[in-house]
Amino acid sequence: MRAVKKYTSFFRLRFSMGLQYRAAALAGVVTQFAWGFMEIMVFRAFYEADASAFPMTFSATVSYVWLQQAFLAFFMAWMMENEIFDAIVNGDVAYELCRPVDIYWMWFSRSAANRLSRAVLRCFPILIVAGFLPAAYRMEAPAGAAEFFLFLLTLVLGLLVTVAFCMLIYVLAFYTVSAQGLRILFVSCVEFLSGAVIPLPFFPDRMRMVMELLPFASMQNVPLRVYSGDLMGAALWRAAGLQLFWLAALTLAGKLLCRRAVKRVAVQGG
């Protein structure tokens, strides 16, 4: 029990630290709003062009966009911590290794807290205002109580999968000198395959079937579609099961790689 407490305090520390940046959050909210509007306008133009080819209901798409903006900090892979990369590259990681904590779980709880604190500051203003917009842009209420509950559940799972994936990238930075290049490469894959560029239902069917099996589909794709009832029934349970599976697999892989890296870590003195 005491072991867990260590990591929850790392979590709490980061969380309250993140809450300090309120002006940045306000600018973020305004930016996200502009972004959301543009995105919806694009989808509306396509909807007007050919409504029958639209793979989701329009209001489900609108909810998807607003939720995406509100929980941007949960899922955007590029929001990684430079501190961790710097620590690995410049050798400060040696200090961290001296602590009586597991470095993997320490970074894991820190990253999760960082993302959570950013999202907490940003999501409420966005969601509240989005709920009162003119009908064409308004975010509708969740499809039902059960859907809302499942949305919250898959949202947390999605956050954890994203963090576990980012952990993998941090750990890989031990094995290369060019963490930045590695990072930007992975990030662009995540963006595309997770439905950050366009939601997965908009892809051609065959391609989508493969994409839905990948870990990237377990990030934002699931909760954002559960909310509006776009993903339901058997498909929903399968998606949630995949989320659990990928969370376990990514964590395990990260943990193993981390253990190996730490064993052979070479820190230059200076």
Partner 1 sequence: MKRGLKLYGHYISITVRSMMQYKVSFLLTAVGQFLVSFNVFLGIFFLFQRFSNVKGFSYSEVLLCFSIMLLEFSLAEMYARGFDMFPNLVRRGEFDRIMVRPRSPILQVLGSRFELTRIGRMLQAVVMFVYGISVSGVNWTFGKVMTVVFMLIGGSALFTGLFLIYASLSFFTLEGLEFMNVFTDGAREYGKYPVNVYGKRMLQFCTFIVPYALVQYYPLLYLLGRVDSPAYIFIPLLAVLFLVPCYGLWRFGVRHYQSAGS
Q: Among 160-168, 191-199, 228-236, 237-245, which window interacts with partner 1 (CB under 8 A)?
A: 191-199
72: closest CA among 35, 18, 23, 42?
35
Residue in 180, 209, 235, 259 binding partner 1, rule: CB under 8 A: 180
CA distance 223 to 80: 21
Identify the residue among 3, 17, 34, 235 touching partner 1 (CB under 8 A): 34
Cβ distance to partner 1 smaller for residue 23 or 234? 23
| Least distance CB 196 / partner 1 (angstroms) | 9
Please tell me whether residue 256 binds partner 1 under the rule CB under 8 A: no
Angle at 37 between CA 117 and CA 120, to 5 degrees: 10
- For partner 1, the closer of residues 204 and 233 by Cβ is 204
Name the residue among 220, 18, 26, 23 with its Cα closest to residue 118.
18
The tokens describing 167, both together, are: 């952990």
What's the full length of the chain, in residues? Answer: 270
Asked if 182 is part of the footprint of partner 1 (rule: CB under 8 A), the reply reads yes
Q: Which of 70, 187, 58 lies closest to 118, judged by CA?
A: 70
How many Å apart are CA 195 and CA 201, to the nearest integer?
Answer: 9
Which amino acid makes up residue 163? V
Q: 3-state SS of the chain: helix, strand, coil percent to 5?
A: 75, 0, 25
Piece of the chain touching partner 1 by CB under 8 A; list 57-65, 96-104, 106-114, 182-190: 182-190
Taking CB under 8 A as the rule, does residue 204 contact partner 1? yes
- Print the binding letters for residues 45-74 with partner 1: x by CB under 8 A, - otherwise: xx-xxx--x-x-------------------
Which residue lies nearer to partner 1 by CB, 130 or 155? 130
**Where along the sequence are the contacts to partner 1 (CB under 8 A)?**
23-24, 26-28, 30-31, 34-35, 38, 41-42, 45-46, 48-50, 53, 55, 177-178, 180-185, 187-189, 191-192, 197-198, 202-204
